[in-house]
Amino acid sequence: MKRLFGTDGIRGIVNDELTVELAMKLGNSISKLYNGKYDTLLIAMDTRNSGDMFSYALTTGAISSGMNVEICGVIPTPALAFLTKVKKTVGIVISASHNPSAYNGLKVLCEGYKIPDEDEIELEKMILESKLEYSPYGEIGKVKRNGIKSKYIEYVSEFYKGMKSEKRIAIDVGNGAAGNVVNEIFEKVGINADIYYNNPDGFNINEKCGSTSPEKLSEIVQKNGYDLGILYDGDADRCLFIDRNGNLIDGDKLMAVNAFKMKEKGRLSNSSVVATVMSNLGFEEYLKLHGIKLLRTQVGDKYVLEKMIDSKINIGGEQSGHIIFFDRATTGDGIITSLETIDTMNYFGKNIDELVKEIPEYPQVLKNVSVGDKKKIMTDERIENIISRYSQNDDYRLLVRPSGTEHKIRVMAEGKDRNLVEKSVDEIYALIEIIDKE
């Protein structure tokens, strides 16, 4: 069982769970693990104040063991994934994605993909059990700063060149990494958009803005008469939409309409989509209506991608807006998702609200409970019993799972009976709080 790596790299509260020492050991361990295969480590970050601190620590650990380092600065996670693929090397993104600025994280990518579990386990072993390894003076790695984000901008822009849109668009970049590239990409494509929440100060990333706080952009869209709004998270691997009436369009619905377009254009491989157990049953019904099959995985974009690769499927993702267009990118990319969706609107000649109104939606309630010990909660017999009792209901789904990135238990219920859905979530939420305080 992994002790450091969660569903999305190593993540934790800065200077508590995630320290400079840990980052330096990770940089050093990557140099040792990939010695002879890669000679350069790319490092990127989002806009958190702690980013530079961890960048220096990772760099020190890597170069002291003989690996060269290229500092890429503030760019989205999918941009670094693309760059590691182009340069055929390994990279680390310093980001805690949608989490507040008090958190940060370290995501390791190799040639476009998150590293496999076996590599994470080996890195953990080195970090926890081995001493730092130092190269002789003459073999210490070199450090340079590069400006290769332009390669990513050109790559994405080329796919959608000349697409254009007459829609009035508002974009909330969440004071995060998207703000460093999105305006240039949209201009190259031929789309005008107004950018909001693009004044990062190191501490305001995802703060009452971005994909986890859609209320502000909803107000802006309605007040200023925009046709649609686009929301990104801190590292821009997620994307959600706001329609012209201020309603939130989640990842399920974005996947649904894009998959339908892809099928119509002969681009949808195996007439299938991959999503997680969290995706709404109404989404599955919509796909079935259009002759598209849904395959489900456990929560986590790496598991979605694994299923996509195994089943040769080129679109998949999560309700949160982390969507992978595998014929465009090797990881979830918020900017590509937004451009694909605008292209879908153009293709069908409809606004986003008109497209998604055809998608049925079962009542679904999701609540996150902050806890001290996730394992204690999940192994408690009372939790097991209540899950078993509610799961016997027909036309009903229940998921109780620990977060892979935060000290939280996520409780989700879905079904035709809204009263049952709400009652079950509230009851389980209350029980978790009781157990946590014991």
Enzyme catalytic residues: 97
Q: How far from 144 is each of 49, 68, 156, 425, CA to CA, in Å? A: 21, 8, 25, 51
The greatest distance separating any two alpha carbons of the chain, rounded to the nearest whole angstrom, comes to 69
Residue 87, CB-side half-sphere exposure with 13 Å CA sphere: 25
Whole-angstrom distance, CA of residue 305 vs CA of residue 113 = 9
CA dihedral 341, 347, 349, 354 (to 10 degrees): -40
Gap between the terminal Cα atoms of the chain: 26
Residue 216, CB-side half-sphere exposure with 13 Å CA sphere: 17
Residues 6+ apart with CB under 8 A from 227: 167, 168, 169, 244, 351
Residues 6+ apart with CB under 8 A from 329: 78, 81, 82, 336
Whole-angstrom distance, CA of residue 176 vs CA of residue 148 = 19
Cβ atoms < 10 Å from Cβ of 368: 13
Whether residue 193 contacts residue 186, with contact meaning beta carbons closer than 8 Å, is answered with: yes
Whether residue 422 contacts residue 364, with contact meaning beta carbons closer than 8 Å, is answered with: no
Cβ atoms < 10 Å from Cβ of 198: 18
Q: How far from 395 is each of 46, 76, 211, 281, 313, CA to CA, in Å? A: 42, 40, 30, 10, 28
Return the axis-axis angle of helices 334-348 and 149-159, rounded to nearest 10°.
Answer: 20
Query: Measuring CA to CA, which residue among 211, 81, 90 is closest to residue 141?
Result: 90
Whether residue 164 contacts residue 190, with contact meaning beta carbons closer than 8 Å, is answered with: yes
Residue given tokens 């009436």 in the structure block: 245
Cβ atoms < 10 Å from Cβ of 205: 31
Cβ atoms < 10 Å from Cβ of 94: 28
